[in-house]
Amino acid sequence: MLNIELWDSRKMHACKGKCGRLFKPKANPSGYYKLVFHPSFDSTIAEIRRKKIKLPSNALPLDLDLGLYDRSQDGEVLTVIGELEKTKLDPAKGQTQCSQKPICAYDESINKFQGLEGTGYLTSHSLILHGEEDFIPVNLLTFYFYTRSVTLSHNSQNIKHSDDPDTDSKRDYVKDRKEFLIRNVPERSLVFIDGPLIGRQMSKYTMELNDSLLRKEAIPLFSVKNSTSNLVTNNIKTFKGRYNSDMHWAYSYLKEGERTNFFKYVDERSMHGFLYPYLIL
């Protein structure tokens, strides 16, 4: 059976739901943390137990894939900003910039519990707020259960009926991420977010997040590791057919501590767009 006793909010001295607050864990009285439980967290687990739904105790680690655009579609335009060139990164310049604004960093961790009756997703949304000498971790914990069974989900507010649990779980994830970051990212800060800005799935919610952070004068920086995108290599004639992906090109072109020039991507149908380079650290 699924066991999430570790996440008991009463043991962690944090209030439940959206009222998460700073608190001092007994094990570390000098440090402050913020732990928030989604309002449906406890009730979802309680209903699963009440209906005797069995989930494995060992979770399957899940690499979240929101469907980053990996090739040009109709109405999509990629433009090279300036000339194709590489630039040596200067850590001193970055230090100067970072000293002028608060810095935050976001990532998520998702465990998938696959059972006979359906699938559970336990997600930890993690944000680190860096200060001059210390940092504050902020966490939101969510747990959702999806089933294709109409009988199990009938009249339930916690057990979600879904014909496509993977897609619906991603939609709930990006909704929670958006609200979590909007509530907790400080104004006029730099926030590094693990994941693409634009993807085939859930782009609407990511763009809403981006716009909301900009209204707080916070600058979101989205990053993708190990991308399979070939937007660059498909749009530059001399690259076509030579490389498996943009990352293949970048690794053959750059040395450690260098970045490419910037590229501008625009989807003319939605008018969404972004600027991005490739870099090797």
Locate 239 and state its tokens.
Answer: 């690259």
Predicted pLDDT at 173: 92
* Burial track 27-62 (b if 16+ CB lie within 10 A, e otherwise): eeeeebbbbbbbebbbebbebbeeeebebeeebeeb
Domain range for 143 is 5-280
In whole angstroms, give the CA distance from residue 104 to residue 142: 21
Spell out where the chain has E strands: 22-23, 33-37, 60-61, 76-80, 86-88, 103-114, 119-130, 135-147, 159-161, 190-194, 219-223, 258-260, 263-267, 272-276, 279-280
Predicted pLDDT at 76: 61
For β-strands 22-23 and 33-37, DSSP reports them as antiparallel
How many structural domains are present in the chain?
Answer: 1
Minimal CA–CA distance to 232: which of 65, 71, 66?
71
Q: Who's near 185: CB < 8 A, 6+ residues apart?
A: 104, 127, 191, 213, 216, 218
Q: Strand, helix or coil at 78?
A: strand
Estimate to the nearest angstrom the gap between the alpha carbon of 120 and the chain centroid. Answer: 18
In whole angstroms, give the CA distance from residue 221 to residue 105: 9
Predicted pLDDT at 6: 31
Locate 18 and state its tokens.
Answer: 């959206």
End-to-end CA distance of the chain: 42
Locate 224 and state its tokens.
Answer: 């993708």
Predicted pLDDT at 31: 55
The CA distances from residue 195 to 24, 106, 210, in Å, are 31, 9, 12
Locate 92 and state its tokens.
Answer: 């001193």
pLDDT along the chain (281 residues), means of 10: 34 36 41 79 92 88 59 64 90 78 91 94 93 83 95 92 92 93 92 78 80 93 83 88 91 92 80 82 79
Which residue shows structure tokens 């990053």? Answer: 223
Which residue shows structure tokens 């630039």? Answer: 87
In whole angstroms, give the CA distance from residue 138 to residue 169: 22
Backbone angles phi, psi at 71, to 5 degrees: -155, 155
Predicted pLDDT at 244: 92
